[in-house]
Structure 1
Amino acid sequence: MKKIRNAETILSNGNRISRQIVLEVADKTLQRLDSYERIRSIMHLDGDVLHIGTRSWDLSQKKNIYLFGAGKACNHMAMAVDHVLGDRLTRGIAIVKIHEDTDVFNKTEVFVGGHPLPNEAGYLASKEIIRIVEQASADDLFIVVISGGSSALMSCPVDGITLQDEIEATDILLKSGAGIYEINAIRRHISALNGGMLAKRIQDAGAELIGIGISDAVGTPATDDIRVPYTHYKSTPIGPDTTTLDDARATITNFNLSGRLSKNIVDYLMEAGPEKETPKSFPDNTYFLLNTLPDSCIYAKEICSEMGIPALILTSFLEGESRDAGTFMASLVREIQTYGNPVKPPCILLSSGEVTTKIPDSRQIKGHGGPGQEMAVSFAITAAKTPGACLLSIDSEGTDGTAKVAGGITDSESLQAAQEKGINLYQTLREHSCFEALDAIGSTVFTGNTGTNLCDLNIVYVPALKEGKSDE
């Protein structure tokens, strides 16, 4: 397998047949989503002319060409642009989550930012980006590649708010139970770059902006022809922001955050006037959208068809508590396997979205993990009643929560495997130590950087019950 690096370990235990099927679907899906290949398929240089999809730019008319990037898929995205431009590139800055040995650039400096919590390196890179833009002119071209995670990685709070304020706020917000829209409403409105503020700075300098993005926003339609400029690009540092100051204030009120967030942040948001609102349109920018959240399920379904296995896309809007989602998936599997509703087995169930884990008290945390791993552990408890059932739940970019694995994979044998090692999966969920539990039974999924970032990808295989076999 090209993307899943520890497949041998995963297949050395549990229901090997079911695991093999699920792993194959996941690996081939991640291959199709790799942004390096997606960009190289639409972007090339012909003499002085840069071609991206259906558009072209005469680079001989440009004084400087800059590449900026941030996000969990930024490694592959920035590499693709850097490799196409070669010596034409004046300078590049890429802010990534993990820098791997396979990341090779020509003129791009790589900074390892912090995610999910911002860090000093990302802050310094952001300050350097601002410095470059402030010196730009109308003869300059900026190519900016953005994927999910840029809010934390490209962290540069406005004057009056410190980096530490933003780090603490991000931690509080992620554990508050707020959805990503609510979280971003606050993060974008305290940032000097996010929420479209980088694009505004480039616009104010009179320079041209080409944006290339991956959208992990729940509700964004599936991509069509990625060669055609995308006219509805939203949010991130380079697109119009859909959140408002009122949304940020409502998040503080609705999630009772006024006494928990830094006074600097609360005062700034509550007192900010209309001039502090984020930009809402950029009609002169050119955007290309490589992938959106529904694409992962669509590609996975096509791969299932090629493998001769019926597949059903349940939803690309999956949100809510991760452990509840795991229990629901296992319950649905049991219904399919026992009664053939809503589809008959064998089949594969696909879903994507962004489940979350609410942690009201950080003292509960006794280990590491993330929503995908918690979903897999929760599935394992109920799936013990469904012979051969298997779920893979990963964060498609390659890291899930606080662990350096993409997620977890469990099947109908995982509960017993855990018990044999003295692991109580109920306690594991309470203590948010799912990585340690899954790792002990060979059920973490390790990919490293995948080259995409489309939030969660969940793949469930449901085999038919053998003659006379019961789940009781």
Structure 2
Amino acid sequence: MKIKNYDALTAVGDISSRELVLGIANEALQQVDSYRRIRDLMRIDGDVLHVGARSWDLGQKRNVYLIGAGKACNSMAMAVDHALGDRLTRGIAIVKIAEPDDHYHRTEVYVGGHPLPDAAGHRATLRILAMIDSAGPEDLFIAVVSGGSSALLNAPIAPITVEDEAVATEVLLTSGLGIYEVNAVRRHISRTNGGRLAQRIAAQGAELITIGISDAVGKPPTADVTQPDPAYSSTPFGPDATTLDDARAAIDGHGLRSRLPETVTRFLDEAGASDETPKAFPDNTYFLINTLPDLAEAALDAARSRGIDAHLLTTYLEGESRDAGTFMASLAHEIQATGRPFVAPCIVVSAGETTTHIRPATTITGHGGPSQELTVGFALASAGIPGACMYSMDSEGTDGTSPAAGGITDSTSLRRAIEAGVDLREHLRGHASFEALSAIDDVVLSGNTGTNLCDLNILFVPDRQQQIAVQENA
């Protein structure tokens, strides 16, 4: 089970609705698990390494190195480590959470800071830089990367310090910027991100294979993952689509100069052409094994296999999380009342990356994250929709500042919160959705899931009359 507290979640509320939604979510997460994907993609026959449709003669290589970073990197690095076995010279991976059941043969695993870079991630990054600098033209690097690498792999350009980078990251993430704008700044103040690691590997004359998961909103679903992806971009190992001008515009457009460290703004003001991130790596080989729409498609498959109508609303869901939850409740109302735009009973799947705008004057009273705030927003507006159930999770297993993956609320959540003395609106104002959901057993716990594809949202809307009859007979 990917969802660790399934039994607790299905012991309260609209139980049949919760069982359906959680079963769909669990199966979808299993389908996109990166360990299985990579082991299916990679194998060794004698001296030949096969990755998808491509092959490499390891007899011609002196060393084979593994570099990993990201929130799904546990499973990704483990898959490569296991596939290569004794063929791997050395591996270094930086993860968000080290799971006790993970095991590696020749890979060192370090825990770094996320969403804010920290000193531990910086020390591990310096080890990676030293490993790259020791390489030569007869060496092969295999990189595995997923979302979160920008914080976990951190080596800011001097005189910017790790502390400066952490402050800048927090300002960027809490000021309402889009992720493209956030990344434009982060990549240009880093020695590792925005293709800088690939640039460093190329300078040593070594070869690079990258296996990636993309959590970018707007990417199309993966097609044939056995074929290299010619359009692969961003991450520490791929060409960067953002520019210095994008970074400057993000700062000025949102009035952030006074809130960012002076070292950051001064560097960006003075940076020239030589400070631009690399835009192409024609000699590298890139495989993309999952994109954000893949998880939504997996959820649709899981729902339809259960004989229920399932619809994809969007894979571009963005905006304020609590407002997205209110919208989902409005959609459920419309479906039950009019049969528009879908006929109940049905599943409505969406994916994307909603955000929580934490204003400077906000008093934070607890913990939480966008997915949890979305489900609290749904709970406040769904009491009059019998059986309606909303599940939202950050697919990598940790949502915001909490240890939770997300939340699941239904038409009984508001009543149960009131009975427990929990003011959901007050908790939203204090960005304490984790505490609110925990108090009514509506918080979802998973740990590392093996993927990182932003947020998965599953809405179940039962037929109103059927649901009322079920409740009356219960």
Classify the TM-score, shorter chain: over 0.9
Note the alpha carbon deviations across 1:225-251, whole angstroms, 9 max, x for none. 111111110100000101100000001
1:89 alignment counterpart: 88
In structure 2, give the amino acid aligned to 1:50: L
1:111 alignment counterpart: 110
1:288 alignment counterpart: 287
Residue 168 of structure 1: SS of its match in structure 2? helix
Displacement of 1:362 in angstroms is 6.1
Alpha-carbon separation, structure 2, partners of 1:78 and 1:462 = 39
- Answer whether contact 2:136 2:205 (CA < 8 A) is retained: yes
1:327 alignment counterpart: 326
1:7 alignment counterpart: 6
Q: Which moved more, 1:355-364 or 1:327-336?
A: 355-364
1:183 alignment counterpart: 182
In structure 2, give the amino acid aligned to 1:415: L
**Greater than 6 Å deviation, 4+ residue runs:** none
1:461 alignment counterpart: 460
1:446 alignment counterpart: 445
Alpha-carbon separation, structure 1, partners of 2:174 and 2:372 = 16
1:307 alignment counterpart: 306
Matched, 1:297 2:296: yes
2:472 alignment counterpart: none
Displacement of 1:468 in angstroms is 10
Alpha-carbon separation, structure 1, partners of 2:341 and 2:430 = 34
Alpha-carbon separation, structure 2, partners of 1:316 and 1:468 = 29
In structure 2, give the amino acid aligned to 1:213: G
Displacement of 1:275 in angstroms is 0.7
Note the alpha carbon deviations across 1:31-54, whole angstroms, 9 max, x for none. 001000000011011111111110
Note the alpha carbon deviations across 1:312-352, whole angstroms, 9 max, x for none. 10000001000010000000000000000001000000000
Aligned-residue sequence identity (percent) comes to 59
Alpha-carbon separation, structure 1, partners of 2:189 and 2:301 = 42
1:55 alignment counterpart: 54
Note the alpha carbon deviations across 1:280-304, whole angstroms, 9 max, x for none. 1111100111100111111111111
- Answer whether contact 2:387 2:467 (CA < 8 A) is retained: no
1:266 alignment counterpart: 265
- Cα distance change of structure 1 residues 225 and 265 upon mapping to structure 2, 3 Å threshold: same
Note the alpha carbon deviations across 1:191-213, whole angstroms, 9 max, x for none. 00000000000111110000000
- Cα distance change of structure 1 residues 467 and 197 upon mapping to structure 2, 3 Å threshold: closer
Note the alpha carbon deviations across 1:80-120, whole angstroms, 9 max, x for none. 00001111111100000000111100000000001001111
In structure 2, give the amino acid aligned to 1:278: T
> Where do 1:64-463 residues align within 5 Å?
64-361=63-360, 363-463=362-462
In structure 1, give the amino acid aligned to 2:159: G
In structure 2, give the amino acid aligned to 1:5: K
Note the alpha carbon deviations across 1:362-403, whole angstroms, 9 max, x for none. 652100000000000000011111000000000000000001
Alpha-carbon separation, structure 2, partners of 1:121 and 1:428 = 32
What is the TM-score with the length of structure 1 in the denominator?
0.98
Alpha-carbon separation, structure 1, partners of 2:12 and 2:335 = 25
Q: Which moved more, 1:362-371 or 1:406-415?
A: 362-371
- Answer whether contact 2:73 2:95 (CA < 8 A) is retained: yes
1:19 alignment counterpart: 18
Alpha-carbon separation, structure 2, partners of 1:467 and 1:59 = 62
Residue 84 of structure 1: SS of its match in structure 2? helix
Q: Which moved more, 1:122-131 or 1:362-371?
A: 362-371
Displacement of 1:467 in angstroms is 6.0
Note the alpha carbon deviations across 1:376-433, whole angstroms, 9 max, x for none. 0000011111000000000000000001110000000000000001111111110100
- Cα distance change of structure 1 residues 467 and 194 upon mapping to structure 2, 3 Å threshold: closer
Alpha-carbon separation, structure 1, partners of 2:220 and 2:363 = 38
Residue 466 of structure 1: SS of its match in structure 2? helix
Q: Which moved more, 1:71-80 or 1:420-429?
A: 420-429
Alpha-carbon separation, structure 2, partners of 1:364 and 1:26 = 33
Alpha-carbon separation, structure 1, partners of 2:448 and 2:71 = 8
- Cα distance change of structure 1 residues 19 and 47 upon mapping to structure 2, 3 Å threshold: same
Flag structure 2 segments of 5+ consecutive residues without an equivalent.
Answer: 470-474
In structure 1, give the amino acid aligned to 2:102: D
Displacement of 1:361 in angstroms is 2.1
Alpha-carbon separation, structure 2, partners of 1:321 and 1:144 = 34
